[in-house]
Amino acid sequence: MSAEQQIKDTVDANSVVLFMKGTKTMPQCGFSSRVAGVLNFMGVEYMDVNVLADEAVRQGIKDFSDWPTIPQLYVKGEFVGGCDIITEMTLSGELDQLFETSGVTYDKEAAEKIREANA
């Protein structure tokens, strides 16, 4: 199976997917750590894909999304963004709205705590 097909299958089969360096329990870069930390703190169930484990997937995800950096977050099959976009969306409440409209379960109180801590 090609890397592109593997990526497409993963994105299609999971409500929330984070392509990252490392894993959700052991991120291996600061940007991946930030996004995984937000998702973990908000109690979002998501599939983590360690791009460091497979060079074809590491390059393939950049081609798949036409986005040059990692991490990359997908919700319900749609590319949402990387670290800066997810951070902005978290602080503005847009990520909450996306999760709500997509039917993704998350801890609203935790999301509020993130915003309070960064106000």
Instruction: Name the phi and psi angles at 8, rounded to 5.
Output: -60, -45
Check: CB of residue 91 under 8 Å from CB of residue 115. yes
Q: What's at 34, amino acid-wise?
A: R
Report whether 29 belongs to an annotated binding site: yes
Range 48-65 burial, b when 16+ CB lie within 10 A, else e: bbbbeeeeebbebbbebb
Binding site members for [2Fe-2S] cluster? 29
Binding site members? 29
